[in-house]
């Protein structure tokens, strides 16, 4: 299986991206990777790994790079020789079965629609992030592919999320829900209410509206919302993590006893940290496009990139695109 990697996207590109690709090839013997980007920069990075897996790494030259602050839809249209666009062209042509990028999220979404193309019947793709929670992983979808959503979009997000949790995460009967400002049917707005009625007829157990408190711990396996809300929620969670960490560090700096206490707690906290670490989940799938398109976190280092490639490989092996295509055709949604 060949997967294309945007070697130039992300805060740690291209070094960590290249190392991650090599690590993934070492882990998965069936994997070949096309590293797309500036050949003169990528080749030495691959050479210095001294890994035998590099025989399954192919470097594809791309002149241009889309930066984090470019206007996504313009960049993807105009920069035809960018690493992201070329990686996506490889998916469209069928040469690669999927691609990953830690670059500009908006450009990945725009490229997913304009270059890779939507699955027939899908109105808009959705970015679904698997959130590590206390008891199990939940998917929050959409976290930023769209801004505002029609009822059809919310329904399709819930369905695609349900399929992902079922086939990729192995949840037998994923429970889907819509995010709202209260559990009662009178909450939400018109679009959400219409989506609710459609989801009641859907293939997955539908538990209605859930609230913000149900994201970290609650009854749903899939929580569907518009990308505006999902994006703000995801960033709030990231911000809270950073804020609590810096607060603890600041407080600890001035005292002795808490530091001693922290030494005793460190092993437990480290274990908890790995449970919540996005690097071990590694990627946010853009669901609804004709290929495995995985967005890795902008701050990804090699382990997260390897993990994102694992996610893309899994999606291809489990026929993610075909599953969504079938459901949309059969369910008529």
What does the binding site for a copy of itself look like in residue numbers (CB under 8 A)? 69, 71, 133-134, 144, 147-148, 179-182, 184, 186-189, 211-218, 225, 227-229, 231-240, 242-243, 246-247, 251-252, 255, 257-258, 260-265, 267-268, 272
Q: How far apart are CA 308 and CA 248, in angstroms?
A: 31
Q: How far is the CB of 147 from a copy of itself (least distance, A)?
A: 6
| Beta strand residue intervals within 137-246, DSSP E | 137-141, 176-179, 206-210, 222-224
CB of 130 to a copy of itself, least distance (A): 16
Angstrom CA distances, 195 to 98, 149, 187, stand at: 30, 10, 13
When the beta carbons of 242 and 326 are compared against a copy of itself, the nearer one is 242
How far apart are alpha carbons 165 and 314 in whole angstroms?
12
Q: Whole-number minimum distance, CB 126 to a copy of itself, in Å?
A: 14
Kindly give the interhelix angle for 320-331 and 302-317, rounded to the nearest 10 degrees: 50
Listed in sequence order, the residues at least 6 apart from 214 whose beta carbon sits closer than 8 Å to its beta carbon are 177, 220, 223
Residue that is written with structure tokens 């992201």 in the block:
84
Closer by beta carbon to a copy of itself, 30 or else 135 = 135
In this structure, what token pair is assigned to residue 217? Answer: 């711990």
Q: Which is nearer to a copy of itself, 54 or 149 (CB)?
A: 149
Distance from C-alpha of 184 to C-alpha of 164, rounded to nearest angstrom: 27
Residue 330 Cβ vs a copy of itself, minimum distance, rounded to whole Å: 32
Residue 27 or 187 having the CB closest to a copy of itself: 187
Q: How far is the CB of 180 from a copy of itself (least distance, A)?
A: 8
Containing H/E element for 73?
helix 72-78
Q: 72 vs 331, which CB is nearer to a copy of itself?
A: 72
Of the pair 15, 193, the CB lying nearest a copy of itself is at 193
Provide the Cα torsion 165, 166, 168, 171; round to 10°: 80
Backbone angles phi, psi at 126, to 5 degrees: -130, 140
Give min distance, CB of 66 to a copy of itself, in A: 15
- Rank residues 52 and 181 by Cβ distance to a copy of itself and give the closer one: 181
Report the nearest approach of a copy of itself to the CB of residue 30 (Å).
37
- The H-assigned helical ranges of 83-226 are 83-92, 105-111, 151-167, 190-199
């Amino acid at each position: 299986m060949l997967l294309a990697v945007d070697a130039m996207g992300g805060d740690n590109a291209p070094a960590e991206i290249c190392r991650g690709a090599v690590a993934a090839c070492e882990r998965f013997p069936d994997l070949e990777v096309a590293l797309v980007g500036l050949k003169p920069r990528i080749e030495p990075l691959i050479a210095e790994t001294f890994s035998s897996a590099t025989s399954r790494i192919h470097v594809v030259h791309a002149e241009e790079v889309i930066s984090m602050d470019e206007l996504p839809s313009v960049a993807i249209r105009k920069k035809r020789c960018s690493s992201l666009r070329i990686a996506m062209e490889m998916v469209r042509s069928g040469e690669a079965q999927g691609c990953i990028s830690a670059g500009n999220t908006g450009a990945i979404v725009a490229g997913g629609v304009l270059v890779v193309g939507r699955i027939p019947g899908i109105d808009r793709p959705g970015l679904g992030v698997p959130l590590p929670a206390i008891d199990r992983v939940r998917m929050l979808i959409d976290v930023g592919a769209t801004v505002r959503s029609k009822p059809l979009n919310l329904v399709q997000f819930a369905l695609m999320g349900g399929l992902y949790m079922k086939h990729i995460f192995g949840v037998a009967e994923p429970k889907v829900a819509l995010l709202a400002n209260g559990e009662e049917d009178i909450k939400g707005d018109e679009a959400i209410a219409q989506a609710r009625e459609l989801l009641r007829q859907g293939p997955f157990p539908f538990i209605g509206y859930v609230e913000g408190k149900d994201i970290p711990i609650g009854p749903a396996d899939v929580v569907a919302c518009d990308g505006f809300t999902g994006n703000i929620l995801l960033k709030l969670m990231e911000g809270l993590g950073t804020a609590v960490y810096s607060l603890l560090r600041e407080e600890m700096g001035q005292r002795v006893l808490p530091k001693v206490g922290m030494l005793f707690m460190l092993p437990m906290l480290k274990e908890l940290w790995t449970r919540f670490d996005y690097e071990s989940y590694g990627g946010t799938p853009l669901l609804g496009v004709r290929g495995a398109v995985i967005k890795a976190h902008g701050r990804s280092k090699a382990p997260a990139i390897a993990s994102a490639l694992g996610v893309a490989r899994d999606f291809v092996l489990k026929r993610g695109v075909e599953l969504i295509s079938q459901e949309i055709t059969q369910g008529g949604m």
